[in-house]
Amino acid sequence: MAGVEELKRAFQQAFEKAKERIGDEIRSWSRVFQFVLDDGTEFYVEISGGELKIVEGRHPSPVATLQTDRETLEKILRGELDAMAAFMRGKLRITGNVIETVKLRRIVEAARG
């Protein structure tokens, strides 16, 4: 299983690939998504001005919070599991603005090509 640093790298790689394909769209985003893993790991992903920042801990006001286990998140980031399928199966729980999480899905899909 990947540690937090590996998850950060996977996010960063997906983001960089997505910027190549949908960079104009990404530059207009300003969102923070909180991740809470079942093992207690917490980090947030901030997308602003075409840049990605990943910070361990809790953000005071994320647009949405995504809860899952590490394996499910790894599979989503590698493109082995669709985030919507994980959500529908109850493997990914989202609180807050569920619609805004489509932006994260766009990044993963664009990264896959």
**77 near 35, Cβ under 8 Å?**
no
Q: Is residue 107's pLDDT more than 60?
A: yes
Give residue-wise pLDDT tens across range 47-69.
999 999 999 999 999 999 999 99
CATH topology of domain 4-112: Nonspecific Lipid-transfer Protein; Chain A (3.30.1050)
Q: Find the angle CA(23)-CA(28)-CA(33) to the nearest 5 degrees.
A: 95
Percentage of the chain exceeding pLDDT 90: 76
pTM equals 0.91
**17 near 107, Cβ under 8 Å?**
no
The per-type count for the chain, helices as H runs and strands as E runs, is: 4, 5
